[in-house]
Amino acid sequence: MQYIKGWVKIGAGLLSAMAMAFGATAAEHAPAKPAAAKKSHAAAKKPAAAKSAKSAKSAPAQRAAAVPPDPSGPFEIQVWHALNPEEAGEFDSLVQRFNEQGHGFTVKVVASPSQQELISQGLAAVRAKRPPHLIEISDNHSPEFIAQHGAILPLYELLAKYPIRDLRWFLPQTTASMRDAKGNLLALPWMTEIPIYLYNRDLYQKAGLNPDAPPRTWREMQTHLVALQQSGVSCPYATSDQSWIHIENLAALHNVALATKNNGLDGSGALLMTNDLLHVRHLALMMSWVRSTLFPVRSAGDQADLQFASGDCAVLTSGSSALATVQAKAHFSYGVAPLPYYDEEASRPSNPFVGGSSFWALGGHSVAEQKAVAQFIAYLASPVVAAEWHQKTGFLPLTEAAFRASDVSYYKNLPGAEAVISAMSNPPGKFTRGFRLSHYDAVSRILDEELDDVWSGRKPPKQGLDDAVARANALIAPPAAARK
């Protein structure tokens, strides 16, 4: 994520805005890592062009003019995404069902193998004045700066023109990352998720553990991992999205600040502060697991999901969308639980941060096409459709009605899932309402690199965290800028 001071003309400006969703940092920031297969918690960006405060205020007036309607009759709206194969298959099924209903237009899905390629294709389409109608962009913790650009059509503006039913969004805190300071919803949070603890119930039973009693705390989890290892499991624990799980959500679960200025919600220029005692102690415990081979698999993306789904690893911490892969590939009984916490640090865990990606609407389309986009969104938000998407993918229910419409047998057959989702209705803590952090994607890459140095033994936990904070804050607020 970047703190965008302004935008230039529509084509080049959208390039900056969309590239901000994952882009590329300067070489001195860090070497690139492979992109995550299902989402981008840690990706790089290109700097955006500067602009005056006066021109920033005029951005809404610069929105792309609508293209005249096509008088030839039925038309097509395009939805572009980079979902993984399991999620894409389910989405295609929903779209096919919508098209079969007959609406006078057709939804065409365009899938890309990665977020990087998706945005590159999107930029080319904008330059050619043939933008898609909806495009998936990962959460970069700076949605306001994307939304203010002329080529973006903020969702609340679209739905103000074409209201839809079932618009009581499931839980306010699950959509906070896609809302502006006034609470307006900027994009469709269709692919939002929370971190979860997945475990192989069969291996739990084999190890003499109660499969209906997953660990509440990290220290209790250690007891479980040792039992699994002693029963012959070579990979007791694996994690995907390592910085999201072990740094960002460690702060959220204990309701401690991830960054200054109220996690950046009180204004720009927030600085990272994740080298506190909680994080140092946690990484020290994790390193003891690494050395004792309790924790052999760690990934910045979602690579560890497959190793759990294949049965190689007994426990996985990942995003809830890992359930799409696990449900498709696992041949064993599994359960779901919240992430563990430290009971000496908090009397009970707070809500985790919500991550994932959303569908953003682009302008430059006719009135008929905009109305069609709203109609398709209404279909996605309908209780039956949104409930099916939630159950098949592990993404959070889009609306309260979708949660209520979810099949009772789904939660019955997936132990722990209903409790995990229901817990998100708890009031958020002071520091769990989300965060805004400049250059977030580049900062995430730095965190992953420093974690890799800790896991490999090249740095002790304290040094790795200190270096991560120093590098990240130098990127957020360069020394020259800080002196001004």
What does each of the 484 residues of the chain score in pLDDT, given as a tens digit? 322 223 233 333 444 444 444 333 333 333 333 334 444 443 333 333 333 333 333 333 334 444 444 444 589 999 999 998 999 999 999 999 999 999 999 999 999 998 889 989 988 998 889 999 999 988 766 666 566 666 789 999 999 999 887 555 545 656 767 877 788 888 998 998 999 999 999 999 999 999 999 999 999 999 999 999 999 999 999 999 999 999 999 999 999 999 999 988 888 889 999 999 999 999 999 999 999 999 999 999 999 999 999 999 999 999 999 999 999 999 999 999 999 999 999 999 999 998 888 999 999 899 999 999 999 999 998 888 988 998 899 998 877 777 777 766 677 778 888 888 777 777 788 898 888 888 888 999 999 999 999 999 999 999 999 999 999 999 988 765 444 4
Beta strands (DSSP E) in 265-353 are 297-298, 313-319, 334-337
Model pLDDT, residue 483: 43
Among 308, 328, 330, 327, residue whose Cα is nearest residue 317 = 308
pLDDT of the residue at 173: 59
Asked if 287 and 461 count as a contact pair (C-beta separation under 8 A), the reply is yes
DSSP class of residue 172 equals: G
CATH number among 3.40.190.10, 1.20.59.10, 3.40.50.10470, 3.30.420.40, domain 10-193+355-406: 3.40.190.10
Residue 195: name the closest of 410, 408, 341, 306 by CA: 341
Q: Where are the domains of the chain?
A: 10-193+355-406, 195-353+430-479
Nearest residue to 212 via CA among 336, 348, 351 = 336
User: According to the model, what pLDDT value does residue 67 have?
Assistant: 45
CATH code of the domain made up of 195-353+430-479: 3.40.190.10
Does the fold of domain 195-353+430-479 match that of domain 10-193+355-406? yes
User: Residue 377 has what pLDDT?
Assistant: 94
Q: Of 46, 3, 49, which is closest to residue 268 (Cα–Cα)? A: 3
| Closest to 441 (Cα-Cα) out of 300, 327, 331 | 300
Q: Under a CB-based contact definition with an 8 Å cutoff, are residues 221 and 215 in contact? A: yes
Tell me what pLDDT residue 396 has: 84
